[in-house]
Structure 1
Amino acid sequence: MARHDITLRLLRYFDVLGSELNYRRAAERLFISQPALSAAIRQLEGHAGGRLFDRDTHSVSLTPLGREWLPLVRAALHGVDDAIDALATLVDDEHVRIGYLIGTGADLLFQLLEHADRAFPGLTIETVEHDFSDPSAGLAGGTSDIALLRPPIDVDAVEMVTVAEESWVACLPRTHRLAERTELTIDELLDEPIVVAPASAGPWRDYWMAADARRGRPANVVAEAATYEAETTLVARGVGISFTTSSLARLYDRPGIRFVPIVDRPVSLTALAWRRGRLSTSARLLLQHMLSTLTSDDGPSTPGPRAPSR
């Protein structure tokens, strides 16, 4: 059989089976039957001119040919996916999706979008709030073109421009022994029971547990919260403390909690972010408009903007 008859479908089947090394699990991931997957792999092996997998009643393993070829196939599939994703940047889209992390939109997003409707009358701008389970505000899953977020995030090929800087504060129950202090250091708080973001937040969760200051000392995690409402409610109940930013002391103040500045933490940044090479023409122009507000007299105070790349 001619090797140029190999299809993307067969290569994707090979990739998934090469990851799972189990026909049942691979077939479930691919939403096909096990016999159909077996037939497809045999077809691919016929094109390849040799076996790609060794299979017996107990296990599936890659042959030497399969081990050598799999990284090349994955690189090729990644290139195809990138080409498909890039199509959005070549065909202009009159719809731009902006994700924002909960707690950032109330103050900043609508300043950054001021006069955007007038500047782009034919453009539909969709804004979606994301909670702590996705601190990338939709960038990681591709549901946002532009995001307003608080770093760090674990997403490849991201560009950012800082739009605000804030100090850290401790959110404490009003009955807490440190609640009447005017300022605190981080070391005074590391042994306290703490309310944290869900595990899906990844490095962002570690950052807001002050993992860098713990020097290997584990955090005493007592609860998880995906929103500031849930977080401050848990704190007010006395379940634990949390770390947050100075603006939240104003936006989420309520009976039962007290915010105390933490004086020895680096500033927390708020940033506009986008995936490098993934912006449509409309999204790029809108981002440039948003960045231009950063240097206006009445816009947010921040370092000078950098023009977004394609």
Structure 2
Amino acid sequence: MRYFEALATELNYRRAAEVLFITQPALSGAIQSLERTLGTRLFDRDTKSVALTDSGREWLPHVRRALHEVDAALEAAAMLVDHGTVRLGYLIGTGADVMFELLDGADRVFPDIRIETVEYDFSDPTAGLASGASDIALLRPPVDVPDAKMAIVAEESWVACLPKSHPLATRSELRIEELLDEPIIVAPKSAGGWREYWYAADVRGGKPPMIAAEAATYEAEVTLVSRGVGLSFTTSSLARLYDRPGIQFVPITDRPISYTAVAWRPSRLTMSASRLVEHMLSRLPSAKKS
């Protein structure tokens, strides 16, 4: 229903996916599933435009009222269980550079709040946010949490992680199409659309990647790459944090910016978590909220 409301507002799959911080294929699949469940088309769409059908227009105000009531109920429940503990999940590889800056001074400002930090691997790229295990998450969009709000805290470029023996490892830069037929190390299937984003499904034209292996951590990923099992796509900061013998990082010039974001679900924030979010955002005066 949140996906439907976002697409009904934007009437553009790319913009709606950006608002939701999910991939376009994930949004399209969800809308198709919703239409099958309801037994009616909600949108008329072709290669150039998206428009609500009569059914979609009539259903939209009901959906918005329902979502408002759900959010209000979740907010009330969150306030009832505020025990002064805030659970901060962070995706492996995202916490090293920014988490300490975001939390700087928090213990002094909020002596009544206990902050629990938990690291998550690639099997849950939402860092516990989707399941509710985390109140706040430090992650790399896109993730399938449609009601999440986010503030961008870092921007990075894509790099290819290659075995040093690979013929392309001596290049100063690469284009994504040069790498699409190579065996690739990917995240576990549980990562869903995030996994597809990181093997560049959007430029493969529906052709599946040649998956060489799965890895849930960067250590496992770079070990597999160094052994020559396959290559991987990652971000520029990881070239510094996870540089190991036997691998070479080469910039990819034609991929979109990769973001690191602080994310939370407003309807599920306790008062303590809400105060911590405000503190974290105050540490980033240029943060872009979505």
Which category describes the TM-score, using the shorter chain as reference length?
0.7 to 0.9
> Greater CA deviation, 268-277 or 191-200?
268-277
Alignment correspondent of 1:157: 147
CA distance in 2, matches of 1:126, 1:273: 16
* Structure 1 residue 88, shift from structure 2 partner: 1.8
Choose which of 75, 78, 82 in structure 2 pairs with 1:88.
Answer: 78
CA distance in 2, matches of 1:278, 1:207: 27
Cα RMSD of the aligned pairs, angstroms, is: 2.1
* Structure 1 residue 126, shift from structure 2 partner: 0.2
Greater relative contact order structure (CA < 8 Å, 6+ sep) = 2
Question: Which stretches in structure 1 are left out of the alignment for 5+ residues?
Answer: 1-75, 296-302
Give the letter aligned to residue 105 of structure 1.
Answer: G
Does the C-alpha gap of structure 1 residues 186 and 81 become closer, same or farther in structure 2, counting only changes over 3 Å?
closer
Alignment correspondent of 1:291: 281
* Structure 1 residue 89, shift from structure 2 partner: 2.5
* Structure 1 residue 140, shift from structure 2 partner: 1.0
| Preserved contact between residue 72 and residue 267 of structure 2 (Cα < 8 Å) | no
Does the C-alpha gap of structure 1 residues 91 and 218 become closer, same or farther in structure 2, counting only changes over 3 Å?
closer
Give the letter aligned to residue 182 of structure 1.
Answer: S
Instruction: Tell me the alpha carbon deviations over residues 60-96 of structure 1, each in whole angstroms, 9 at most, x when there is no partner.
Output: xxxxxxxxxxxxxxxx9xx789836741224543100
CA distance in 2, matches of 1:158, 1:286: 16
Alignment correspondent of 2:246: 256
Choose which of 199, 203, 211 in structure 2 pairs with 1:221.
Answer: 211
Matches within 5 A, 1:27-176: 83=73, 86-90=76-80, 92-176=82-166
* Structure 1 residue 156, shift from structure 2 partner: 2.8
CA distance in 2, matches of 1:156, 1:187: 30
Instruction: Tell me the alpha carbon deviations over residues 172-198 of structure 1, each in whole angstroms, 9 at most, x when there is no partner.
Output: 000000001000000000000000000
Asked if residue 268 in structure 1 is aligned to residue 238 in structure 2, the reply is no
CA distance in 2, matches of 1:93, 1:281: 9
| Preserved contact between residue 168 and residue 245 of structure 1 (Cα < 8 Å) | yes
CA distance in 1, matches of 2:201, 2:287: 30
Structure 1 residue runs of 4+, over 3 Å off? 79-86, 303-306
SS at 1:153 equivalent = coil
Determine which structure has more spread, i.e. the larger CA radius of gyration.
1
State percent identity of aligned pairs. Answer: 68
Report the TM-score when normalising by structure 1: 0.69
Give the letter aligned to residue 197 of structure 2.
Answer: Y
Matches within 5 A, 1:233-252: 233-252=223-242
SS at 1:204 equivalent = helix
| Preserved contact between residue 71 and residue 267 of structure 2 (Cα < 8 Å) | no
Instruction: Tell me the alpha carbon deviations over residues 200-258 of structure 1, each in whole angstroms, 9 at most, x when there is no partner.
Output: 00000000000001112220001000000000000000000000000000000010000
Question: Which stretches in structure 2 are left out of the alignment for 5+ residues?
Answer: 1-65
Report the TM-score when normalising by structure 2: 0.74
SS at 2:107 equivalent = helix
CA distance in 2, matches of 1:166, 1:209: 17
Does the C-alpha gap of structure 1 residues 132 and 82 become closer, same or farther in structure 2, counting only changes over 3 Å?
farther
Give the letter aligned to residue 218 of structure 2.
Answer: Y
